[in-house]
Amino acid sequence: MKIGRLDVSSNQTKGLLAALITVTCWSGFNIVSRFGSKGVFTPFDLAAMRYGVAAALTMPFFFYLVPVREWPKYMVLAVFGGLGYGLLVYSGFAFAPSAHAGIFVNGGIPFWAVVLTAIMTGFKLSRHVVFALALSTCGLVMIGSNSLLSNHDGDQWIGDFLFFGAALSWAIFGLLIRRWQIRPHHGIFGIATFASLVYLPIYYLFLPKGIVDAAWGDIVLQCVYQGIIAALLAAGMFSYATHKIGACEASMMLALVPAFSAVGGYFILGEDLTLITILGIAIVSIGALLGAIPSNKVALMIGKDSSET
């Protein structure tokens, strides 16, 4: 049987590349955030550096580019893609390891995206999307099996719950930015602007801080990664991918984050790759890529295969 070749349009290619950049950025985000939360930084410090740095770079552009009448939409996006996601995920790192974030955040985002899409479409989901989600879930569990099955601290479940909540918040953000047709750079400018305007005064006046005891090198690392790479580059690329390939398809690609992290840990940190982890990487990669292919393209491939058999 001859396998038909997928004819990928330029928009799909751009969307997939943007999603892969997001995956690369988020693979480091889990490690850097966990490193910060286990040091002197509080979760509130990490959020402040994320929103403060991002807003300092983007706020003037937002006020110049976006009319006042459109600000309410960006305030909603800031609730889900900014404050909701950031505070939940940073708080989760204080309780659970980064491997759990890879499973419950990066596995939870495609799960919630599929659930929310199903609700919005009257539960009319293509079979290939459900199959891709099942594959990705199996692969994620295999990659994270050592961490999930090891002896746990009593409070790790709190971190897992917070990670899963962060995934829901980000999935809502992805669907809204696609539904409202928000330009990617306007979206990240708006999130940074309104998240900082709401959060930073509360942080300064009321929330516990550890940043005053941190080394300058650690502060610079967190400011650059949280405020530029995570808040601007990764969020912008994800927003761009949702426009090009769809919110559900872009979310499926995020399941690759634990796979990228495992491979990076092998080459950079010398961490072992077990056979079950390698199999999990292969399975989650197939599931994520299958889920990123639009349903009409899958149907076209199947149709060609049937006609050429």
Residue (of 150, 126, 74, 145) closest to 252 by Cα position: 126
In a domain, 4, yes or no: no
Closest CA relative to residue 27, chosen from 297, 200, 255, 231: 255
Nearest to 283 by CA among 86, 112, 144: 144
The two tokens of residue 231 are 């808040």
At 18-48, the pLDDT tens digits run: 989 998 898 887 777 767 766 788 889 989 9
pTM, two decimals, is 0.80
Residue 279 lies in domain:
10-308
Mean pLDDT for all residues in the chain: 81
* 196 in a structural domain: yes
On whether residue 5 sits in a domain, the answer given is: no
79 vs 129, higher pLDDT: 79
Q: Domain count of the chain?
A: 1
Burial degree of 141 (CB within 10 A; 0-12, 13-18, 19+): middle
Q: How many CB atoms lie within 10 A of CB 8?
A: 13
| Residue-level pLDDT at 277 | 76
Q: What is the pLDDT of residue 3?
A: 37
2 in any annotated domain? no
Compute the average pLDDT of residues 231-250. 88
More confident residue, 300 or 12: 12
For residue 8, give the nearest of 307, 299, 253, 293 by alpha carbon.
293
Give buried/exposed letters for 23-52 (b at 16+ CB in 10 A, else e): bbbbbbbbbbbbbbbeeebbbbbbbbbbbb
- Helix (H) or strand (E) segment spanning residue 103: helix 98-104
* Residue 291 forms part of a structural domain: yes
Nearest to 114 by CA among 264, 252, 297: 252
Kindly state whether residue 151 falls inside one of the protein's structural domains: yes
The one-character DSSP state at 234 is I
What SS3 string covers 199-214? HHHHHHHHCCCCHHHC
The answer to whether residue 116 scores a pLDDT higher than 80 is yes
Provide the Cα torsion 112, 118, 123, 128; round to 10°.
-90
Domain assignment present for residue 1? The answer is no
- The answer as to whether 99 is a domain residue is yes
The tens digit of pLDDT for each residue in 162-201 reads 988 999 999 999 899 988 999 999 999 999 999 999 999 9
